[in-house]
Amino acid sequence: MGRKFVLLLFTLVSLISHSQSGNLSGKVLLDDGMPAAMAHVMLVGTKHATITDQNGKFSFEGVTKGDFTLQVSYVGMKNYWQQLHLPLNQPLNITLSNNEELLSDVTVAVKSVVRETEELPYAVTAIDAKPLQNLNLDVNQALNTVSGIRIMEKGGLGSKFTFTLNGFSGNQVKFFMDGIPMDHFGSSLSLNNLPINMIDRIEVYKGVVPVHLGSDALGGAVNIITNKKRNFLDLSYSYGSFNTHRSSLNTAYTSKSGFTTRAGLSHNYSDNNYTVLAPIRDFDEHRVVGEREVERFHDRYRSGSARLELGVVDKKFADDLLFGILASANDQQVQTGATMSSVYGGITQNSKSVIPTLRYSKTNLLPGLDVRLNSAYNFSESQIIDTLRGVTYNWLGDTAYTPGSNDGELQRTFTTLTDRSASAQLNANYTINPQHSLALNYSYNYFKRKSFDTENLDKPSNKFPRSLSKQIIGLSYQYDISEKWRAIAFGKLFMMNALTYKQLDFALETQRTEAVRNGKQNFGYGLATYFFITPKLQLKASYERTSRLPDPDEIFGDGLFVNANPDLKPEQSHNLNVGANYNTSLAKNHKINVEGSFVYRNATDLIYQIVKPSSPETSYGNVSKTRNLGVEGNFRYRFKELFHLGGNITFQDITDRADSIFNESYNNAGYQKNYQYGFRLPNTPYLFGNVNAGVSFKDVLAKRTTLGINYYFNFVEQYFLSWAELGSADTKKVIPRQNSHSIELTYSLQGGRYNIAFECRNFTDELLYDRFYLQKPGRAFYVKLRYALDY
Amino acid sequence: MISIRKTGKQALLLSAIAAITFTSCKKEDKVSTPIEDNPFVLSLAYQGSDGTFTYYTLPVNDVMSGTIKEEGEGIEQPGYYDFTQIEDNIYSIGGLDDVDLVNIRQDADGNLTEYGDISFANSLADLIKADANTLVGVEMRSSSDQIVFHTIDMGTVRISNTVNHKVTDITSLKGPNYAGMRVSGNYLYLSYYIGDPTTFATPTVDTAYVAVFKYPELSFETLIKETKIGSIGGFNIKSGLITDEKGDVYALSHMNPANGYSQSSDSTGMMKIKSGQTSFDEDYYFDIQAKSGGKNATHLVYLGNGKVFAEMNAEDVSAQSRWSDGPLETAIIDIYTQEITFVAGVPQHAGTGRRLPAVHTDGMVYLPVTHDDGDIYVYQIDPGKATAKKGAKIEANFVAGLFRL
């Protein structure tokens, strides 16, 4: 596959070399020297019109010789005109000047990339990471403030988590880093350890996923966009409670000739030795003798990653051509099982990945044609280790030893998973004219896994490697009906091909192993539109009929006890979002943004593992159906640069809509009435929200300083582990209502070059749970030092 | 199991929160059903659409009419549980993560309450009554190289003694799966069958094994091996051994693929160990298959005077589908006269592959039976007449326990 892409790249490069005559290119800067992204650039009286990219760059191809007028317009800036005699030998450098008159007009605001993203017809939330970079955050914590998202963590730094978006979770939501799917990156490059300082912004697509992120997501996608500044240095270190150290270095250098280097290093360490209220088991009496506040003693987490990208930017043949390598590793002690009733002192897991990447992009490769290619190859290896024999721990850290026992703490294992995966995404955008454009995406993913357990040599999965390839083709058509009204229609074709081996006639003379292949395909389609009723009030609606293709494990099982189900269908969902967004200023300095949306999800054929009490054998089936009727609301208020207040709330009524459940052991048909039809899904938050407020003072104690104080509040209503409708009140297992409060103080000097932040998280020291009976950290303090330089 | 009792103060706080806030609970306030002095108790299992189970244990006055379902009264236990009744106590064995033993009993007001705080690291294969005030529980699974006995005081629900045995001291075969356990006289009889811990295949089926331990010392005495019948018991059904009033122990071999066997031999049937003996009685052999017309007994409940309530697999071993625990027919077996009488009026049905949730009370046996359409009904079986009457419908995914306190 790799070879094909090299070939493709050469083809692209040769195409470019044939079409380079009569070019006009340049860069548009704002008056402060920052690039002007999304500025409109046109040659008056010609068909040549475009908008600048994130770096302020534009180019026209195939421009004839002669005299022209170049016009550049940008919200909040004075329009710019320049007489040109083409061809030019050098790219243009244009600096716009501030339009004070226009800025004072309350109807116009400068739109950032984040704002532009949020105005797309999709149900999309963009998180601007820049204001968060002084804080001790990872991507998860930033995402957890978005309506519709709940990240349920099992513990402290690096702990396992479940990401849920409008009720979808696991592989139903897809993650990308700069457009590269993160599916097989491994746990060492994950939302719980990526430092916020390497990130420019995060885009969350709810329900409807644009074709350019070619994927078979069932319920949405998250795209993490790393910092793309050409020349910068960002160095940070934080230290805090539970012996937590986090450091990151991110830098980029671009020479005048266009040679560019981007590099990043990050490191996370925590003992996670926070105090929990835990049941103490007495080994002699085999009973829980009471509950005590104890320190977690086997929960250390370490991770590190390094990134390097080398290449060229702003060349005739490429806006970006970057070769990169990502390397990461983590290791983690495992303290508890599914709840705190089980406590471990020897179980560990680790993961390491090496990921070479290649990125290429070119706007106006041919007139109106923009091309982008993202590809990655992933080598990763992860291990689960439970090799203590005959040892049992309790929460006091005491052990009981059974001489001669070979039993592990949970289940004795030393399993190594060896994964290889490749992914490539090719996007082509063709602007037919300013009103009509087409986008095509082709994405290819290949995944292969081998697993080996040295403690259980007979394990079936030792013998059966699994592989899966997926191809997704998406086509979308965008029509700007008017300046106020945009519509995008799209279709997607999903194809997969999976391969594994299955053992037949186990333990009989005819026992044999056979290769099993399985191919599936499915279509998806959708529509997204917005309409500005007034420049301040935007209406949005988007709908997608989506599919998620089954994973190899789901189709094939493990070769023996998890049986294959060749009839397994993709999971499907109808996703609809309807929303409105109102932006206004009450008076000159009071800016208000209110957003509300209605969320509808109707998911069918959901895949789950069928459990049979009578048998160790299981398989995956398409039985479950759920429906989500939800509403989300966001509010933001800002008074000058001095004060801001924001919040959001999510209510999601996710109900079970399956008529039947499947369990072969009850009768020959396997299907049985689902007695929970219409019940709200248990163990799922249904009402949650966030509030944040902050003040910011300039020039405190010294010039060019900023002092900020921010307060964060996070709320999740109590929910039940099992159905609310069943069980007597005094025996119900609850995940209690969560109220957590955090406060931070930041001080920046020299216009943001030197920064120091103090944070107190969960300052009321609440008992916090995301998962049933898995307590999260209590009150914690952090300090973060950061040096940031743009040059 | 993680019950409120473990969370102490937190629980109070939670209850307070629950009381003062609106929750997702759509439950209407309802008046609790008055509970009889000796109600039936059902442990009902509900399966989530994600494949997980939650168990609810609730009292029911009438199991012969109407519809029985959980409506906010049952004791909730999410995870995996096995329920067994010993005298007026129900015991739940299992948990969400670890393994607890909880005594469910009627309090002074007649309400069911949870009692006890026993917690094990590994699963308890079974719990039986050993003497007037003592229970014996055993930790045993084919993947472990330990067999651990716990004696439990019935009154305090506390462990009084724990004894570990290495599997290798008893057998060199891998690995023994629990089949059944009985205490008679000064011995504890522990039967097992050999099943591969990784593949669950049954590589050796030609020998019946009963390990004999001294009781109450729980020291290993001897291993009874017998080739007249094959392996005893089956996967997860726990009814390989029964005892009669005389203290004689009867061992059942069926080797049903429907109960996990990957191969079977023809040597099925029943043998007995006379009270106080450490070997099978060579004079007793009950060829159940021959007497029943080719059908094997699978689940047994001893009724008295040699009469046994039995669930018989209607199919020959060659025709059974593996792990199906069915199709079952109901019969009354006399282990003294070796007569088998099939009960009329109970449709052929599949079992749950678990301990049989049948109760013998007031001369009747009550058994939940799953019909082909998936609906479950209680059947009242008259063992004397070998007749059955269909009773209440049960709205649950399966019945994990049916008891009479």
pLDDT tens for each residue of B144-184: 889 999 999 999 999 999 999 999 999 999 889 999 999 99
Give the pLDDT score at A195: 86
Say whether A728 and B75 touch across the interface (CB within 8 A).
yes
Query: Which residue of B9, B17, B23, B101 to mutate against A (max A Cβ within 10 Å)?
Result: B23
Residue of B nearest to A658 (CA): B49
Tens of pLDDT, residues B214-268: 999 999 999 999 999 999 999 999 999 999 999 999 999 999 999 999 999 999 9
Say whether B72 and A405 touch across the interface (CB within 8 A).
no
B228 shares contact with chain A (CB less than 8 Å): no
Say whether B397 and A663 touch across the interface (CB within 8 A).
yes
* Pair type for strands A232-240 and A244-254: antiparallel
Residue B332 confidence (pLDDT) above 90? yes
Query: Which residue of A410, A463, A666 to mutate against B (max B Cβ within 10 Å)?
Result: A666
Say whether A606 and B49 touch across the interface (CB within 8 A).
yes
B291 shares contact with chain A (CB less than 8 Å): no
Chain B residues whose beta carbon lies within 8 Å of the beta carbon of residue A627: none
Residue of B nearest to A279 (CA): B6
B347 shares contact with chain A (CB less than 8 Å): no
Write the DSSP string, A727-754: S-GGG--EE--EEEEEEEEEEEEGGGTE
Both tokens of residue A158? 């690096």
B24 shares contact with chain A (CB less than 8 Å): yes
Say whether B352 and A615 touch across the interface (CB within 8 A).
no
Give the pLDDT score at B2: 34
B289 shares contact with chain A (CB less than 8 Å): no
B396 shares contact with chain A (CB less than 8 Å): yes
Q: Which of residues 355-374 of B touch A (CB under 8 A)?
A: 370-374
* Cβ pair A421, A400 in contact under 8 A: no
Amino acid in the structure at residue A568: L
Please tell me which of the candidates B14, B158, B201 has its beta carbon nearest to residue A507: B201
Higher pLDDT, B329 or B3: B329
Query: Which residue of A506, A614, A615 to mutate against B (max B Cβ within 10 Å)?
Result: A614
Chain B residues whose beta carbon lies within 8 Å of the beta carbon of residue A667: 349-350, 370-374
CA distance B164 to chain A (A): 8
Chain B residues whose beta carbon lies within 8 Å of the beta carbon of residue A563: none
Q: Based on DSSP, count helices (H) and strands (E) in chain B, helices before strands.
A: 2, 28
Chain A residues whose beta carbon lies within 8 Å of the beta carbon of residue B239: none
Say whether B162 and A284 touch across the interface (CB within 8 A).
yes
Tens of pLDDT, residues B53-91: 899 999 999 999 999 999 999 999 998 899 999 999 999
Q: Which of B316, B318, B303, B284 is nearest to B358 (CA)?
A: B303
Q: How far, in Å, CA of B297 to CA of B180, rounded? A: 15
B352 shares contact with chain A (CB less than 8 Å): yes
Say whether B96 and A338 touch across the interface (CB within 8 A).
yes
- Could you identify the residue written with the tokens 């079992």? B351
Residue of B nearest to A610 (CA): B51
Please tell me which of the candidates B150, B162, B372 has its beta carbon nearest to residue A668: B372
B75 shares contact with chain A (CB less than 8 Å): yes
* Cβ pair A223, A205 in contact under 8 A: yes
Query: Which residue of A291, A462, A660, A665 to mutate against B (max B Cβ within 10 Å)?
Result: A665
Say whether B46 and A737 touch across the interface (CB within 8 A).
no
Tens of pLDDT, residues B39-54: 899 999 998 877 788 9
Domain covering A114-790, topology: Maltoporin; Chain A (2.40.170)
Say whether A719 and B370 touch across the interface (CB within 8 A).
no
Amino acid in the structure at residue A586: L
Tens of pLDDT, residues B272-311: 999 999 999 999 999 999 999 999 999 999 999 999 999 9
B351 shares contact with chain A (CB less than 8 Å): yes
Say whether A675 and B95 touch across the interface (CB within 8 A).
no
Cα angle vertex A145, ends A142, A151, to 5°?
A: 80
Q: How far, in Å, CA of A717 to CA of A769, rounded? A: 11
Q: How far, in Å, CA of A425 to CA of A359, rounded? A: 10
Residue of B nearest to A607 (CA): B50
* Pair type for strands B387-395 and B67-69: parallel
Q: Which of A266, A226, A166 is nearest to A359 (CA)?
A: A226
* Cβ-based neighbours of A511, under 8 Å, separated by 6 or more: A503, A504, A505
Q: How far, in Å, CA of A413 to CA of A784, rounded? A: 39
CA distance A541 to chain B (A): 29
Residue-level length of chain B: 405
Write the DSSP string, B276-323: T-SS--TT--B-HHHHHTSPEEEEEEEEETTEEEEEEE-S-TTTPPTT
Say whether B76 and A667 touch across the interface (CB within 8 A).
no
Chain B residues whose beta carbon lies within 8 Å of the beta carbon of residue A291: 6-8
Say whether B201 and A284 touch across the interface (CB within 8 A).
no
The number of C-beta contacts closer than 8 angstroms across A and B is 264
Chain A residues whose beta carbon lies within 8 Å of the beta carbon of residue B44: none
Residue of A nearest to B81 (CA): A613
Q: How far, in Å, CA of A302 to CA of A284, rounded? A: 35
Give the pLDDT score at A99: 57
Q: Which of residues 76-115 of B touch A (CB under 8 A)?
A: 76-78, 95-98, 114
CATH architecture type of domain A2-107:
Sandwich (2.60)
Tens of pLDDT, residues B340-393: 999 999 999 989 889 999 999 999 999 999 998 888 999 999 999 999 999 999
B26 shares contact with chain A (CB less than 8 Å): yes
Residue of B nearest to A724 (CA): B25
Please tell me which of the candidates A718, A722, A767 has its beta carbon nearest to residue B78: A722
Give the pLDDT score at A665: 52
What's phi and psi for A141, nearest 5 deg?
-65, -35
Say whether B76 and A733 touch across the interface (CB within 8 A).
yes
Residue B405 confidence (pLDDT) above 80? yes
**Residue A328 in 3-state DSSP?**
strand
Query: Which residue of A453, A731, A737, A775 to mutate against B (max B Cβ within 10 Å)?
Result: A731
Give every residue of chain A whose pLDDT is below 70, as ranges. 1-21, 76, 98-111, 502-511, 556-561, 611-617, 663-670
Long-range contacts of residues A137-140, Cβ cutoff 8 Å, at least 24 apart: A137/A196, A138/A191, A138/A192, A138/A193, A138/A194, A138/A195, A138/A196, A138/A268, A139/A191, A139/A192, A139/A194, A139/A196, A139/A199, A139/A202, A139/A224, A140/A191, A140/A192
CATH 2.40.170.20 range(s) for chain A read 114-790
Give the pLDDT score at A236: 95
Task: Tell me the whole-structure pTM to 2 decimals.
Answer: 0.84
Please tell me which of the candidates A338, A725, A767 has its beta carbon nearest to residue B27: A725
Tally of CB atoms within 10 A around A237 = 16
CATH 2.60.40.1120 range(s) for chain A read 2-107
CA distance A358 to chain B (A): 39
Give the pLDDT score at A673: 83
- List, in sequence order, every residue forming a beta bridge with A220; answer none if it has no partner: A206
CA distance B107 to chain A (A): 15
Question: Structural domain boundaries of chain B?
Answer: 1-16+32-117+357-405
